Structures are given as structure tokens and as C-alpha cells.
Amino acid sequence: MRTPLGLIFIIVGLAVLGQVSTGAQAASLPAPEMVSVAAGEFQMGDPTGDGEEDERPVHAVTLSAYEIGKYEVTNADYAAVLNWAQAQGYLDMTSPGVVRAHGNDLLNFEDLRNECQVTYTGGEFVVEDRDGLAMDEHPVLYVSWFGAVAYCNWLSEANGLEPCYDPNDEWWVLDSSKNGYHLPTEAQWERAAAWDGSVHRLFGNSGDTIDCTSVNYWPDGPDACNPLELSEFGYTTPVGYFDGSNGTTDSPSPMGCYDMSGNVWEWCNDRYGSTYYESVIGADPVGPELGSSRVYRGGDWDDPSYNCTTANRAFGGPGGMNGLIGFRLARSQVDGGEAEGEGEGEGEGEAEGEGEGEGEGEAEGEGEGEGEGEGEGEGEGEGEGEGEGEDEGEGEGEGEGEGEGEEEGEPVPGEGEGEGEGEQVIPGEGEGEAGPEDGKDGQPSTDVGCSASALIGGTPLADHLNMIRDLRDRVLLKYQPGIGVTKYFYCSEDID
């Protein structure tokens, strides 16, 4: 059978571009399935009054028409776009195990726990199986905020749309006058996750309760839902898994999006501000103009139900990568709808802490720093941890001892008596001065480099210590007497 001449020209052209040998996509990539959201007003924020302070006050927000991804971006989606970007010469592969572009880390595909299922072999990006299961349709993990917005730009370019982010702009400011893909703003995300037209739903399954038939999370008790019975973290499910099949309940959000509670946190476009809701003015808000941290929403497979609510807000440094955060897409310039714009005068500000950490001390600045103990005191409790940056505070490991001075170390429980030096984020009993807190509930500012959080309710420190030591990232622990480690934070520097 004769090969059509036009097809010969196409094949020759692809070979010249080097795309046939890499297995990369050609002129375009499959467009994601999007859900249309009509213009209108909704009530944003915690409707119950039981959430965190940064979820209040509830306030009316007006949004122009937009589209949002029906599903989270998958491993297969991300690998295809990386192959396309490689064919264009956009990638920097000089750092082993890390994809870089525009001076930023985008994806860590050789994380120590092998939770990222995208890998690089034979000159192309592919998706690895796990436990005999295909992972193509699971959400991509170990992707930074920079990796998410680069994906948005490249998918837009590959499909003939205008990229919404300028990689030459240090802050990657959203230009929503463009018709390409971008990360959803916090308001766009929450509108799609929670608002049914008159009621703000507590969870992203269109309901006010969840269980393991509707959401992939970690309920109260020793075991995660882990419906696929995966042998190792992370216990993700294929996107859209909770659709009424596989013994599940069909659990879309009010707008028809899946996995907006649990599975993985989702990066949003906005910078984080703990008091931002007190000053939201106008339509199509895009978050504070200043701040070094970016918001992510929705909770993950490792979170209890209260972290998977549609009003819950978390944040981290845009370069952070771990096995708990992915993303989904949005578009603002659709069907002639007006789009939101991000204000001028972007700059770096002091990020504000979030979370439930009982960090005693203050953390400032990005980069690695040393903690200075302030005062003396005896404390009882297990676990210690450190952030990056400058941390003032004090606390003790189990037993008695005095902690002061400067030292960096990895998180291990103290035992016995003696003098301990280092940064500790555990409550102490006894006398002594605690350094001033910086951020919500005592969590250090994300300027210290912490990029994500996961809650482990009722879990003793010893049960997770080995797992924590295996992580590529540093960890800052929160310990509560009688309960155990209730929160740990992934940070940007490796454990020594």
C-alpha cells in the first residue's frame, strides 16, 4: 500500500525536528476536559465558623465566566507536555532527577520514596507502573508551582493558545487577558468546588460529609482509605475514580469536577495572605500582590476530613515539590467572558504562616538558617524539628535538659537528660521564654522554605520517624502531648 505523499512530508519533518526519536507529541497535544462556570456571585469562605481564621470572614465574590479542569492533571498528561517541551529545547536536564526550565525546578522524578511515577528513560518521559497497576491516570506528584505554570504555558503554546505567564517575569504574574491555560485563582477554585448556586458545600463531593466511598483521604484511625491497596505512599487514586463505579459513590463537585477534596492538594495561582479575606474588593480577585508563598487547596490522600474542606487554605513556597500536591487547569478568556487581571507592582513580601503548628519562634527569610534558643526551660514531649530561616524559640525532647544555642540537625526525639542544642518545635513544660510567633497558629513563615503540609491525626512520632527521615525534604514536626505528631511540614532542603 502506498504511503500518501503528505504523510511522508509530515514524517520527514518530524524526524528533522527530532520529535520522532523522542516520542514527543507533534504540533498539538490533547486538550483537557474542562467544565464551564457561568459568571456570577458566590459566598467565599468557611460557612460553618469552625475553620481557620484565614477562612473568614465569609464574603461575596463576583467572577466572570471561566473554565476549570474536570480532573486533576495526570502523570500521562504531564509526561506528554514534557516531551513536547523537550522537543522545543525548553528543558534543562543538567540536574540529575530534576526537570528544570527558566531557572526553576519543575519536577522531581527521582524522589527518595519513588512517589513520582513520571520518569526519564531512553530520551523521553514515560509513566512507570506501580504494584502492577498503570499509573498514567493518577495525578502527577512532586511538581512545583513553577512546574504547574510552565505546564500551563506549554500546553497553551502547543495548542495554539496564548500563554498566560511570562517566564521572564520573576514572579510569573498571571495575564488573564490571554486565552491560554492557567492555574485557577483561589476564588475560581472554591466556586467550582463548593458553590451549588445557593449553598456553600463543605466538601468537594457536593456534600457536607465524606467517607472512603466518595473521597480519597485519611479518616480517623490507623489506616488511609487507599482503595487500590497500594503498598507504599502515596496512596493516590486515578483522577475521577469516585464516579459511581468500583464500589464508589458518584462524587463530583457542584460544578461537575472530581477530586476537589482529597487525593492531592492542588496549586492555585494566588499568593497567600492570612488576612486577605478581610480586604477582598472588586470582581475576579487574584490574591495579594505581594508574598513569596502560593496557595494550594483541597487536601490529599494523607489528610483527615477537616483538611479536605472546600474553604480550607494551605500554602507553600513555589519551588516546593512533594508527594501530596498536584494541580488542575483553568481558562478565563472563554466565550467572550471577562477575565480577572492581576495587579501591577508585583514584589516579594514577607509570607505569613499557616497551619496548626505550635512552632515557638519566628522564621524569616528564605534559605537555610540556624535556630537560636532563647531562655532556658525544661520540657517534656517527643519530637523535634527544624525549619529553614531564622527561628527563635525553645523546647525540649523527652526527659530533662536545657536547650539553647545554634545548631542544625535532623528531626529525632530527644531522650534522657542532657543539654540539647538546636531548633525545636515542641511544647515544653517549665519555665523559659518562647520566641515570638510568626504566622498562623505558630507555623513559621513559608519564607523558611516549607512547601507543603500533611496532617497525621493520632499518630505517635515513632511510627513516622523512619518515613520522615527517608524523605528528600527537611521536615518540621508539630507534636501535641497525648496525641502524637499532628502535623509535619516538607521543606526545600535535603536532610543531611
pLDDT digits (tens, 9 = 90+) for 341-375: 333 333 333 333 333 333 333 333 333 333 333 33
pLDDT at residue 27, as a whole number: 56
pLDDT at residue 93, as a whole number: 86
pLDDT tens digits, 189-222: 999 999 999 999 999 999 999 999 999 999 999 9
Give one word for 227, left, alpha or beta, with left for phi > 0 and alpha for psi -120 to 50.
alpha
**Helical residues (DSSP H) of 266-349, grouped into ranges:** none
Q: Is 144 a residue whose pLDDT tops 80?
A: yes
Determine the Cα–Cα distance for residues 443 and 452; give it in Å rounded to an integer. 12
Name, in order, each residue with C-beta under 8 angstroms of 45's C-beta and a sequence gap of 6 or more: 55, 56, 57, 58, 59, 200, 277, 311
pLDDT tens digits, 404-421: 333 333 333 333 333 333
User: What CATH number belongs to 26-340?
Assistant: 3.90.1580.10
For residue 57, CA distances in Å to 72, 104, 279, 309 come to 28, 35, 10, 16
pLDDT at residue 114, as a whole number: 83
pLDDT at residue 335, as a whole number: 57
Other CB atoms closer than 10 Å to residue 159's CB: what's the count? 15
Determine the Cα–Cα distance for residues 481 and 382; give it in Å rounded to an integer. 8
Determine the Cα–Cα distance for residues 393 and 381; give it in Å rounded to an integer. 16
Coil, strand or helix: which one is 436?
coil
**Helical residues (DSSP H) of 366-494, grouped into ranges:** 461-470
Name, in order, each residue with C-beta under 8 angstroms of 132's C-beta and a sequence gap of 6 or more: none
Q: Pairing state of beta strands 66-69 and 124-127?
A: unpaired
Q: What are phi and psi of 476, to 5 degrees?
A: -110, 120
What's the gap between Cα 172 and its chain centre? 17
Specify the higher pLDDT residue, 380 or 184.
184
**Cell digits for 242?**
469516585
pLDDT tens digits, 29-40: 999 999 999 999
pLDDT band at 266; cut points 50, 70, 90: very high
Task: Of 26, 23, 28, 30, give the one whose Cα is nearest residue 124.
Answer: 23
Residues of the chain with CATH 3.90.1580.10: 26-340
pLDDT at residue 282, as a whole number: 82
Determine the Cα–Cα distance for residues 54 and 47; give it in Å rounded to an integer. 13
pLDDT tens digits, 42-93: 999 999 999 999 999 999 999 999 999 999 999 999 999 999 999 999 999 8
**Cell digits for 467?**
518515613
